[in-house]
Amino acid sequence: MKSFVLITGAAGGLGKAFALECAERGWDLFLTDRDNSTLEKLAEGINRLYNIHIVYKTCDLTDDFSRRKLWEYMEENRLKFHFLINVAGLDYEGMFNERSTAELDTIIRLNINAAVVMTNRIIRYRDYARTFRIINVSSLAAYYPMPVKATYAASKRFILDFSFAIREELKNDDVTVTALCPGGMPSNEEVMRSIERQGFFGRLTTRNVGYVASNTIDSALKGKKLYIPGSFNVLLKVLGKLVPAGIIAMFIAMRWNHART
C-alpha cells in the first residue's frame, strides 16, 4: 500500500527543498500550497527528476472551507500518510503598529492554527504499517521575544512547545515529532536581501536550504526532538536560555534599528 508525505507550503523555498529531498529518497508526495500554477510547475519538475508519484492540491490553510475540501479528498480516496511536514508559515516584516488586523490574524491562523489542525487530521490518515513522522518548522526566533517580529516569533514559540508536548504524548503510538529551528535561510531573493541588511550577524546565522532540508529529514528519521542547523545558532539558543528575555528583546530591537538605517 502506498502512502504519502504531505508537505504544506511546498512552493516556498524551504518547502521546495523538502519536496526535492523526499523525492530523492523515493517517497511519494502530496503537495499543497496556495497557488495552483506554482505547484503545477514544481510537480512537473520533480517528476522529471525522480520516479515518484506526486499529488498536489491548492489549499488556503487559513480557510476552513478550503481545508475541509482537502480532507474530503483524502478521505474519499483513502489516502494514507507516513510523514507530515508543516512548512507553511509567514510573517509581514515591520512594526506591530504598522500591521493591519487582518495581517496579524493571518499570521496566527497560518503559523499556529493550520499547523495544529493539520497535525490532528493527518495523524488520523496515517499509514499504520509505518512509523508516522512529523516535522514542524519553527524558527530560531522561537527562543526570544522579538521586537519587530513579535507575533511571528511568539507563533513559532507556540510551535516549538506544541511539538515537544505532543511528542511525549504520541511516543507510544510509533509517532515521532521533530521541530526545526533554522536561523536565516536564503530561500528566496527577498529573504536574501533581508539577511544582507543584517550584515555579518545575518550571514552567520544563515544556512543553505538544501542542506537544512536534508539534515532535518535525517534528524526526523532518528526520532530527534529538535534540529537547529549550524553551531552558531545552537549557541544562540543556549544564550537565549541563559540571558533574561527582556535584555535579549532590547538587544534585538537595537540591531533592527541599526539594520533599518
Partner 1 sequence: MKRVIVITGATSGIGFAAAKEFIKRGAAVIGTGRSRESCGKAAEKNRDITYIAADLSSQKQVRDAAAKISLLADSRYRGKIDVLVNNAGTFSGWYQATEDGYELQFAVNHLAPFLLTNLLLPELRASGKGKIITISSGSHYHTKINWKDPMNRKRYNCLKAYKQSKLANVLFSYELNRRFSEQFNIRAYAVDPGLVNTGIGEKRTGGLVKWFWGIRRKHGISPEKAAETIIYLAQRDLEDNTFEHLIDAPVEKNWIYWKECRPKEPGRYSKDGAAALRLWELSERLCGMAEQRETAAFKDPETENPDLSGTRSVIKIDSEAAV
User: Which residues of this chain interact with partner 1, rule CB under 8 A?
Assistant: 2, 11, 13, 16-17, 19-21, 28, 36, 38-59, 65-66, 69-70, 73, 77, 79, 186-189, 192, 195-196, 200, 203, 206, 208-211, 214
CB nearer to partner 1: pick between 20 and 181 = 20
Provide, rounded to whole angstroms, the least separation between the CB of residue 34 and partner 1. Answer: 11
Closest to 201 (Cα-Cα) out of 230, 162, 244: 230
Provide, rounded to whole angstroms, the least separation between the CB of residue 99 and partner 1. Answer: 28
The set of cell numbers assigned to 86 is 508543516
Provide, rounded to whole angstroms, the least separation between the CB of residue 128 and partner 1. Answer: 18
Alpha carbon distance 7, 26 (integer Å): 15
CB nearer to partner 1: pick between 13 and 147 = 13
Q: Hey, is 133 helix, strand or coil?
A: strand
84 Cβ neighbours under 8 A, 6+ residues apart: 5, 6, 118, 119, 122, 123, 132, 133, 134, 135
Angle between the N-to-C axes of helices 13-24 and 36-49, in degrees from 0 to 180, rounded to the nearest 10 = 30
Provide, rounded to whole angstroms, the least separation between the CB of residue 88 and partner 1. Answer: 16
Q: What are phi and psi of 188, to 5 degrees?
A: -150, 175
The set of cell numbers assigned to 196 is 544582507
CB nearer to partner 1: pick between 135 and 209 = 209
Provide, rounded to whole angstroms, the least separation between the CB of residue 76 and partner 1. Answer: 9
Residues in the chain: 261
Name the residue with cell 538605517: 261
CB nearer to partner 1: pick between 174 and 218 = 218
CB nearer to partner 1: pick between 54 and 177 = 54
CB nearer to partner 1: pick between 105 and 196 = 196
Provide, rounded to whole angstroms, the least separation between the CB of residue 53 and partner 1. Answer: 5
- What b-and-e string marks burial along 44-77, b requiring 16 or more CB atoms within 10 Å of the CB? eebeeebebebbbebbbbbeeeebeebbeebeee
Closest to 212 (Cα-Cα) out of 110, 135, 134, 142: 135
